[in-house]
């Protein structure tokens, strides 16, 4: 018997006003893999993640997680929203933010137990941020902010992780840390679904890819779908523009540097 898919998306359409963000998307995702969701800006990657997490209500179609409605399995799913959506000048400490990952299990009206505190400590340790627990979040760098968000998701102790652009605007040390963390999590049997925008790293990071451009272009094992034809279908003319620009930049390296 084939394993049931961990996420099913059926005929999903999301309209913002009259403009479609996602149009008739239909795919299944396998368990215990690192899965990338890719596509150009405005192709509906975040909207797809938000629909699966119940943050955005679909105009039509539905999604299932573990073959059920999300409401029944919410405690098995951890979510990392996009870092840029949050006001990082909010007066709160790193510890308080990661503690939010425990609110669901403990309920909003009970005090966190010592077990919760151990889990929070452990989550901070996993992202090398334990030394920053008391730090105010306004004092963090972009990479540190991302680590805090990851720690919060780890503290949720899900089996399925949905992450919205965890690599956007982070330093190299953080990127490497996240990659090794993802490897550990995959080995521990977790499933990771990651919205990603960097084509250069896609092949090395992901086992499975979903390519989106408002419509679904392709979904399958990376070696099968990471082809020139599919990438051109996904990025259209934009891909050639981007590669032209990067070529141009490489040709005249650091053109604006003066003495």
Partner 1 sequence: MNDFYTILTASLVAINCALMGGFLMMRKMVMIGDAISHAVLPGIFVAYYISGSTASLPILAGAAFSGILATLMIEWFTKKARLQSDAAIGISYTLLFAIGIILISKWGQNADLDQQCVLYGEIEQISFWLQPIAFGIVLPKQTVILLAVAVLLIGAVIWGYKGLFITTFDPDFALSTGVAVTFWHYFLMSGVSLTTVVSFESVGAILVIAFLSGPPAIAYLLTEDFKKMLILACLVGILCSIGGYYTAKWLDVSVAGAISTFIGLVFMIVFIGTSVLKRKVDVIST
Q: How far is the CB of 158 from partner 1 (least distance, A)?
A: 10
Window 147-186: contact mask with partner 1 (x via CB under 8 A): -----x---x------------------------------
Q: H or E stretch including 77?
A: strand 77-80
Q: Which of residues 3-42 bind partner 1 (CB under 8 A)?
A: 17
Nearer to partner 1, 80 or 177 (CB): 80
Cα separation values, 44 from 14, 35, 64, 86, 182, Å: 9, 16, 18, 19, 24
Rule CB under 8 A: say whether 79 interacts with partner 1: yes
53 vs 119 by CB, closer to partner 1:
53
Cα separation, 67 vs 223, in Å, equals 27
List the interface residues with partner 1, window 51-70 (CB under 8 A). Answer: 53-55
Give the whole-angstrom CA distance, residue 218 versus residue 99.
Answer: 38
The C-alpha atoms of residue 153 and residue 126 are separated, in whole angstroms, by 11
- Give CA–CA dist 256/243, Å, rounded: 20
Binding site for partner 1 (CB under 8 A): 17, 50, 53-55, 71, 74, 77, 79, 81, 85-87, 90-93, 96-97, 100, 103-104, 108-109, 136, 138, 152, 156
């Amino acid at each position: 018997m084939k394993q049931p898919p961990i996420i099913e998306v059926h005929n999903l359409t999301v309209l913002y006003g009259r403009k479609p963000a996602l149009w008739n998307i239909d795919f299944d995702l396998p368990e215990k893999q690192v899965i990338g969701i890719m596509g150009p800006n405005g192709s509906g990657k975040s909207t797809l993640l938000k629909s699966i997490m119940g943050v955005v209500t679909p105009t039509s179609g539905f999604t299932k997680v573990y073959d059920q409605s999300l409401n029944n399995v919410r405690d098995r799913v951890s979510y990392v929203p996009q870092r840029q959506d949050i006001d990082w000048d909010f007066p709160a400490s790193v510890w308080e933010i990661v503690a939010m990952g425990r609110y669901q299990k403990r309920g909003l009206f009970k005090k966190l137990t010592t077990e919760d505190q151990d889990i929070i400590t452990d989550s901070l340790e996993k992202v090398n941020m334990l030394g920053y627990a008391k730090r105010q979040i306004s004092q963090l760098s972009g990479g540190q902010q991302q680590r805090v968000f990851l720690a919060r998701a780890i503290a949720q102790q899900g089996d399925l992780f949905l992450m919205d652009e965890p690599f956007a605007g982070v330093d190299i040390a953080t990127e490497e840390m996240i990659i090794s963390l993802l490897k550990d999590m995959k080995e521990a049997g977790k499933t990771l679904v990651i919205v990603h925008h960097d084509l250069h790293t896609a092949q090395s990071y992901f086992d499975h890819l979903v390519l989106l451009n408002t419509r679904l272009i392709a979904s399958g094992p990376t070696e099968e779908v990471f082809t020139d034809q599919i990438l051109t279908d996904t990025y259209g003319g934009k891909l050639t523009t981007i590669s032209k620009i990067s070529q141009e930049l490489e040709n005249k390296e650091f053109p604006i540097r003066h003495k």
